[in-house]
A and B are shown apart, each in its own frame.
Chain A
Amino acid sequence: DGGITQSPKYLFRKEGQNVTLSCEQNLNHDAMYWYRQDPGQGLRLIYYSQIVNDFQKGDIAEGYSVSREKKESFPLTVTSAQKNPTAFYLCASSIGGLAGAETQYFGPGTRLLVL
């Protein structure tokens, strides 16, 4: 069935380590997004991609990197430069092409904890 999958559900990171969060969608959507949610807060945009091989920084891109080599995949790497990575990470996708005026659908999220 169609949807957005994220893995792993929980991820533990040691100091100085890079970790990669997976996001896959089979909705044939062009646009994909990564958001970060801190406890008791709304979501903030990290990166987004409107099309394969293209991506743009969001509001809080420092310490993160992404790639978009395939339409269905948009992995997020949390680098050692991100000093406060503990958060809930949500991936989303949308049809795209309407300057944001379309519904975004979200995956189940990954909880990242720093050891």
Chain B
Amino acid sequence: GIQVEQSPPDLILQEGANSTLRCNFSDSVNNLQWFHQNPWGQLINLFYIPSGTKQNGRLSATTVATERYSLLYISSSQTTDSGVYFCAVNTGFQKLVFGTGTRLLVSP
């Protein structure tokens, strides 16, 4: 089955810093989503981005489908950005395959 790898596994930032999270996947996909899991466990949709670039406030994402990777950019990070960021992909079946996540801690 498809493999999804995320890097880095852990990231510590000072408030106000920028960061880039990476997701590599091993096969063609028809669905790629980025999620933020908050400290209470809620998974929050950030982007649905099987290809191209999208922006939402301080967050943006780019997926280069031909090279099988996606990047999530966080600018001017805030303490509320802390949590785990997951990339998940789908290859034409119903299930999403999740990476193991990037754990982000933003300190004041």
Contact = CB atoms under 8 A, between A and B. Distances in A.
B20 interface: no
| A interface residue count range (under 10 / 10 to 19 / 20 to 34 / 35 or more) | 20 to 34
A74 interface: no
A16 to B, nearest CB: 27
Interface in A85-115: 88, 90, 99-106, 108-109, 111
Nearest to A59: B95
Nearest to B6: A42
Given A43-B86, A90-B43, A108-B42, A99 B92 contact: yes
Interface of A: 31, 33, 37, 40-45, 48, 50, 56, 58-59, 88, 90, 99-106, 108-109, 111
Given A102-B48, A103-B33, 14 more contacts: A33-B96, A42-B4, A42-B100, A43-B88, A43-B96, A45-B95, A48-B94, A90-B41, A100-B91, A100-B96, A101-B30, A101-B90, A104-B96, A108-B42
